[in-house]
Amino acid sequence: MPKRSCPFGDGAPLQLKTRVGLRELSRGVRAEELRREIFERTRRLLFRGAQACAEGAWTPLPRPAAGRSTQPDGQGPAAGPGRRWSGQLRIGHDGRLLRSAAGTEMVPPVGVSKACSSCVRTADVKEACSQCDRFVCQSCSRLCSCCNTVTCSLCSVIEPLGRCLLIRLRSWEKKKAGGVESGRDW
């Protein structure tokens, strides 16, 4: 005797277990609630970090070499006590703000080239570009006149007046994505 046909047709749903995880919830029913929670948590962390910097909880960097100026107006180190804060705040695995140690920032990981990104010399590579994190030697590094950070020749442009102007890559990409023709943010 032959089997009888299925009375439900092809439109019946499969009767399998469906796993609903955080990923599915964040895209569906609870999307707005989870996004708001993540936004609030990130905002709190950034606010706490800004408060810690403002209250002086972070130690200042040691004074720069005599040839370099940390003052925005180009004055030398004798001009004043100008304070710079060391390191970048990072969010740890437990959600707390962490400050990277000043000595470990400039040390490349094992297996990474210690050569200068501009002239490819391995001699005295002690600084990293603040924009692209490539290592630069003392002769190839430049100090930005706007934000007083060390930049490599790929991330900076020498103006006819001799000032180092930093190309803001992230804002350039945002403008480009937004349809603005000009990619310069100086």
Report yes or no on 98 lying in a domain.
Answer: yes
The tens digit of pLDDT for each residue in 4-54 reads 887 777 766 677 777 888 788 878 888 899 899 999 999 998 888 778 777
Report yes or no on 13 lying in a domain.
Answer: no
Question: Residue 15's pLDDT is what?
Answer: 72
3-state SS, residue 186: coil
92 shares a domain with 132: no
Which is nearest to 131 in space by CA: 114, 151, 116? 151
Domain hosting 97: range is: 31-59+87-104
157, 82 Cβ separation under 8 angstroms: no
153 shares a domain with 112: yes
Question: Residue 39's pLDDT is what?
Answer: 92
Judge whether residue 114 has pLDDT over 60. Answer: yes
Report yes or no on 177 lying in a domain.
Answer: yes
137 shares a domain with 173: yes
Which is nearest to 149 in space by CA: 132, 170, 129, 126? 129
181 shares a domain with 120: yes
Mean pLDDT value across residues 61-85:
44
52 shares a domain with 121: no
Outline where DSSP puts E strands in 49-155.
89-91, 97-99, 125-128, 135-137, 142-143, 150-151
Question: Residue 40's pLDDT is what?
Answer: 94
The tens digit of pLDDT for each residue in 136-163 reads 787 777 777 666 777 777 776 655 444 4
Residue 166 or 50, more confident: 50
112 shares a domain with 100: no
178 shares a domain with 110: yes
116 shares a domain with 100: no
Report yes or no on 21 lying in a domain.
Answer: no
110 shares a domain with 45: no
92 shares a domain with 42: yes
92 shares a domain with 48: yes
Judge whether residue 135 has pLDDT over 70. Answer: yes
Residue % of the chain over a pLDDT of 70: 48
Structural domain total, the chain: 2
The tens digit of pLDDT for each residue in 96-109 reads 777 665 444 455 55
Q: What count of other Cβ atoms lies within 10 Å of the Cβ of residue 130?
A: 16
Question: Residue 126's pLDDT is what?
Answer: 65
